[in-house]
Structure formats: C-alpha cells, structure tokens
Chains A and B, each alone.
Chain A
C-alpha cells in the first residue's frame, strides 16, 4: 500500500466521529432534490439495526446519521443510500462547512436574544411613554427603567458583539465603515441611558439601542445567507469528485490510487454512481453521464467508446473504463472551481469605488455629528445629545458597501445554474452596457461537428489514402473543422513537425514530404501557381510539395437554438453581427438563415480584431462570442467576451464568461440578468443617496427622534438587501 493510499483511506475516516460508543457521520448525498428524496433515504435506513437517528437537510443535501458502530458498519449505511440511487460523498472542507454552520447559528441566537429582548422592552417602553404623558408613580418608573437596563445590557454586549468588535477593528485599522457609526450610536445611547437611569432623571434610549441592533442583525442575516448559498455552488463541485480511484494496470489487475496520482494515459474504472475523476475518453462501455454540476445540463447524456467524458460528471449508466486525458489538476472541474473562486475573490471596480465612497461617507458623518452637536449646544443644549444621536443613527452607507456584493454574487450564481460561468467580476457590469454582439460562426453558431460532404480527388492518390493523409495532418489542428477528418485516421500514417497557422491551415511532414491542408491561399504559399477548380461550401485543400491532391467540402450544421437566440438578442435591442473566417457564400447563407443583416466573411483573426476595434472606436460596446481557441486575440480586445467552453477549452479560454453547456439561449438570458443586476445596483445607489440626503438634515435639525432614526436606517439597509435578493427569483 502506498503512502497516498493510506492517506486517502484515513481521510475517509473523517466522515465519522465517535463519542461514548456512538458514531456520528455527516456526508453529502448527491441527488437529493426534495423532501421526497429525504424520506426515501430515511425509510431505507430506518430498519437497520444499531441506527440511532437520521436527519437530512434537503437544502444542503446533507445526511447526518448517528449509529452504534458495534452493531452497524458505516459501509452498510452508505450501501443502503447508494442502492436508493443517491451518491454519498464526503464533505470536502468539512471544517469550512462547520464554520459556516456555526456562523449561521451564532447569528440566529444573537437575533433571537435581540428580538425577544426587544419585544419585552417595547412593553416597558409603552409604560414609560404613557407614564410620561399621564403621570406615573416615580417608583414604578424607576423599576421600569432598571428593567430596561437589565434587558438592554445583554442585547448590547451579546447580540451587538459583532458590531462592537467590527467598530473596534475599523477604528484600529483606521478604515471607517458602517460598524463605526452604528457602534458609536449604540454605545453613546446606552451610556447616556445608564447615566440617566443612575441619576434618576432624563430620557432613556434603551428601546432605541435594542431595536437598532435587532434591525442591523436581521439585515446582515439576509446578507449572510445569500453569501452562504453562493459558496455552496463551488463546494458542491469540489466535493463531487471521489477521493480515490481504481486504476487498471497493464496486467489487468486494479489498484486504488488517490486523485492526485492520476496521470494522463492512466486507465481508470468508474463504477455506477461514481463521479468521473478526471477528463478522459471512454475505452469500454456505454453509459450515461450527468453533467448537471459542471454545465447545468439537466439531461443525462449518452457516451460510448471513444467519446470524451468530463471529470466531475456523474456516471449514472453503467460501469466504464476510461483513459485519463488530463491529470486531476488540469481537469475541467478543477479549472471551473478555480475560475469560480477567482471571480468571487476579485472585487469589481464598482465595488471598490463603493467602498471608498462609504469610507469617506462615514468620516463625513462623524464630522457632521460633531458640528450638529456644537450647533445645538449653542442654541439649545438640552437637545444637543438627541440630535447627535439621531444624526449618527440615521445615516446609512449600507447600500454602498453591503448590498452590491450580494447583488453580484446572486447574479453570478443564477447564471452558473444555466451553464454560464463568470470568470471576472467586472464582466457583469460591462455585459449590461453592451450594444453590439459579434458572433463567430464555426463552433459558436454551428455545432462545430463538421462532416465531409464531398471529396474531389485531384491527384493520383486513391480516396482512402487522401483521407488518411488529411487526417494525419488534422491531428495537429485545434480548428473545429479538423474533427471531420479524424474518423479516417490510419495509424500507419503518422505526421510530424506540425505547424498550424491560425485561420489558414496545418503543415506537417509525412514520409519526408511537406504536406499542407487548409485554405487555397495557404496552399498557394506552398504551390504558387496551382490552378484548382472553383468551389462552393467550406473547402479545405490538401496538397504536398508537388501537387494539389484533393478538395474537401465540409458542412457544419447550425445549432438548433441559434435562430431563437439571435432573435432574442435583437429583441433586447442589440445589434448582432457575424464575423467568420469562412467563405462569403456560406457566411451569407448562415446570416440569412439567422436573420443577421451585418456580416463579414473570410476574416482572419487579424481582420476580426480590426473589425471589433473599429466598432469600439465608433463608440459601440462589443460582446464578442467565439470558440475560445482561434478567437483569442479578438476575445481579449472586445469589451466583454464569451467563449463556448464545450468542456475542453475552458482552461485556455481568455474570456470573461464561459458557456459550459453549448446552449446559445443562455446568451440573451445572461444579458437580461446582467441588466437586471445593474438596474438593482443603480436602484440601491439612488435609494442610498436619496435616503441619506433627505434623512440626515431632518435628524440634524432635531426633527427625528433617535429611535425613529434607528428604525429608518435599519429599514433602509434591509430594503437594499431584499432588493438585491430579487435577482434570485424571476429572470428564469
């Protein structure tokens, strides 16, 4: 047994923790979608001897079981769960999950204490207020005040602890934020109330303090749960992979290896219900794979020998043998996780700007509060404190620093469920402002699975030999058309010294001779003066140093949803253009079918780049959509770019967005979602500015009492968070 094997086995022990002879295990069960699924698992486990309890969280798809390990083995529980068609997987980063759970529980407890305390406090406050109007026994008033103090103290120091700690942190770091103004307001109000209670005269603000803390906590709880839900998507991907894999050795025996040990070329056995560990190609077996986590594709897809499978896809059909084409590190699923993390970590420009504004804003509020205090001290000292308190409490920088991340994260998450990966957080902002969409044709609007529809022999080689030569050359090409030749490859014919000229073709040596396949121009460079017959359709020419050998007609079908997607884009008021390296006739044909008026054919990558730059110079903002490999430069030049991932090219794609599932209908959806996101952010900004501009003067002039100010501020921040949550719903 290798060291890594031991490590992977011992890691699986982390599923279980034991205490007083009772074992507790927690794992994710893939496939839980509803309460019915949860009940199915509970029923399946119910009659196992030695089982103590089962509880299932449908939202987190998490099963937690308590059992007596002496009477029941964990394997048996897992087997029962798998038999029901669910796939138990260990929770990757269980520590992180536990931390998130703890955070949520803590927040709930704090809210509970503040809410219950607040309700009780309101009763006493009603007594105090009515007492102030209609007279009250001074002993009773004192008692009520002391009761209020007794309730507010734990609310401030327990429920309000995150706010106080945040204020202290901001103060120490010298970066003023929300917590500073909130913390200062509650501490000031509390201190004044305590002093007044001790003195036995003056107003108390205990209800204000409690309500303020409660509302702020509620607003933050919404933000917290939004954040946790977005994290869960990445986590689900990361933990879909198996811990260890069966590797088949050359002598036919198998060994268990950890994920990290897999190399390209390894032969791996994948059983039913298991996730395919790395990107690979099927060697044996017909199966169906579920790529829902990777691409959002909800239907299981058929895969047979020779076909590619993605690491992270769940094998739901039958056991298969695959050959790894990439290591785990380089596999699609890992790339997606990395891209997602990168996008969620980078702060978009607009958010950084908002942070800066919020910082200056808080500073301005502190200065203003001091001025308000000074002014009132001059005119009417008795009202100075209340006015200062109200000014501090009423200001709300929350829409700037609180709700924008929520809006962005929510949008990214809802896009990823449709198979669209946002790799740069700025992309959403830019996408919302796009007015022109430039589409590549091959592999984008078309299926990218071209067929040879005609072969015209022009040399002295028979057809099979011609095709075999073409296939040998195209093996070195990443161009979508190359796929048409690959089935005709002859293992006896190998090319070497591949050289690909993007948009033109491939050159390589076969049996000592230079061969080329590609456009006519490309052939002419090798054979100046060769005179081929005229031709329609996408044509590739095959030639060696002496003569043109053949002409191939290749056709590539349009994606079935392309027309609908283009129509939707135009409905959204976008100008759609087609840029293709293909022949004018075919491009015109495609454009006509799709209802696109503006198109440019026979474009080299340089031409496309020039075209897009021209558009930008004329003030257009361009979304470029390409297949991600051939269109690298033009994708980089466009304001925002989208690459058709198709599962294989994600790593190379230098695009802002990657479409993981080849469904073009996600395009208009993405633009709608980006626009909604921009609109919500704008609304929140307008609200924040309008609210603060109208509320701050009222508070400064003493027209708002502190409790009303606290209510206004909390309501404003809650409004902003809830507004961002609207992005989760609708837009489907």
Chain B
C-alpha cells in the first residue's frame, strides 16, 4: 500500500505532462481541421511518395 504514496504524486506529474502536451497541440493548430487527414488515407494518388505532407515544420 505504501507504494501509493509515491504513485499518486507520480500520477499527478503525468497529468501535468498530459495537459501541457494537449495545450501545446492545440496551440500548434493540430485540431484545426479534423476532416482532411481522415479522408487523406482514402486518397490513392499514384505519385504519392509516402512522405505525407510537404510542411517543413521545424
């Protein structure tokens, strides 16, 4: 049971990390367009080099 005294704080830290990650994703416009990427998988373009997007984000 005593492991809980460590696990609970650890879970809090994980929560903070998860929230930080989510906010970062929203700020980076990851949730702007939820339709396109879904339909992209169905797009069978012959000359697709498989690299997906050309966005050169650093």
Q: Which residues of A contact B (CB under 8 A)?
A: 34-36, 38-39, 42-43, 45-46, 52-60, 101, 105, 108-109, 112-113, 116-117, 120, 123-124, 137, 140, 143-144, 147, 150-151
Contacts and interface: CB of A to CB of B under 8 A. Distances in A.
Given A53-B57, A58-B36, A108 B31 contact: yes
A39 B45 contact: yes
Contact of A55 (B15, B29, B39): B29
Contact of B19 (A46, A54, A59, A113): A113
B46 interface: no
A38 B36 contact: yes
Contact of A35 (B4, B40, B55, B56): B40
B41 to A, nearest CB: 9
Interface string B32-48: 11011001100101000
Contacts of A59: 33, 35-36
Contacts of A35: 36, 39-40, 43
A577 B10 CA distance: 75
Contacts of B26: 105, 108-109, 112
A55 B18 contact: no
Given A36-B43, A52-B56, A105-B26, A116 B35 contact: no
A42 B4 CA distance: 51
Nearest to A60: B33
**Shortest 6 CB-CB contacts between residues of A and residues of B:** A112-B22, A57-B33, A58-B36, A35-B39, A53-B55, A46-B54
Given A39-B43, A54-B55, A58-B33, A120 B1 contact: no
A140 B33 contact: no
Given A108-B26, A109-B23, A120-B12, 9 more contacts: A35-B43, A38-B36, A42-B54, A57-B36, A59-B33, A105-B27, A120-B11, A137-B1, A140-B4
Nearest to A119: B15
Contacts of B31: 105, 108
A114 B32 CA distance: 20
Contacts of A144: 8
A112 B18 CA distance: 9
Contacts of A34: 39
Contacts of B45: 36, 39
A116 B22 contact: yes
Contacts of B53: 42, 55
Contacts of B11: 120, 123
B11 to A, nearest CB: 6
A147 B22 contact: no
11 contacts: A35-B40, A46-B54, A53-B57, A59-B33, A59-B36, A117-B15, A137-B1, A140-B1, A140-B4, A143-B4, A143-B5
Contacts of B33: 57-60
Given A55-B29, A59-B33, A60-B33, A143 B43 contact: no
Contact of A147 (B8, B36, B40): B8
B10 to A, nearest CB: 11
A186 to B, nearest CB: 20
Contacts of B43: 35-36, 39
B23 A120 contact: no
A52 B54 CA distance: 10
B31 to A, nearest CB: 6
Main secondary structure of the interface of A (DSSP, over half): helix
A89 B45 CA distance: 28
B12 A147 contact: yes
A101 B43 CA distance: 28
A75 to B, nearest CB: 21
A55 to B, nearest CB: 6
A116 B19 contact: yes
Contacts of B29: 55
A118 B13 CA distance: 15
Most buried by B among A35, A53, A54, A120: A35
A56 B57 CA distance: 14
Nearest to B38: A35
Contacts of A53: 55-57
Contacts of A137: 1
Contacts of B35: 58-59
Nearest to A55: B55
A120 B8 CA distance: 10
A243 B32 CA distance: 27
B23 to A, nearest CB: 5
B9 to A, nearest CB: 8
A150 B12 contact: yes
Contacts of B40: 35, 39
A109 B30 CA distance: 12
Contacts of A150: 12
A278 B20 CA distance: 50
Nearest to A120: B15
Contacts of A46: 54
A161 to B, nearest CB: 15
B37 to A, nearest CB: 8
B51 to A, nearest CB: 10
Contacts of B32: 57, 101
Q: Max chain B CB contacts within 10 Å: which of A36, A108, A113, A150?
A: A108
Nearest to A139: B5
B29 to A, nearest CB: 7
B36 to A, nearest CB: 4
Contacts of B22: 109, 112-113, 116
A60 B31 CA distance: 13
A120 B13 CA distance: 11
A389 to B, nearest CB: 26
A45 to B, nearest CB: 8
A50 to B, nearest CB: 12
A143 B56 contact: no
A155 to B, nearest CB: 10
A140 B4 CA distance: 8
A36 B11 CA distance: 43
A153 B13 CA distance: 16
A477 B44 CA distance: 57
A105 B31 CA distance: 8
A109 B53 CA distance: 25
B46 to A, nearest CB: 12
A85 B39 CA distance: 22
Contact of B54 (A54, A60, A105): A54
Nearest to A127: B4
A227 B5 CA distance: 47
A451 B22 CA distance: 67
A60 to B, nearest CB: 7
A1 to B, nearest CB: 38
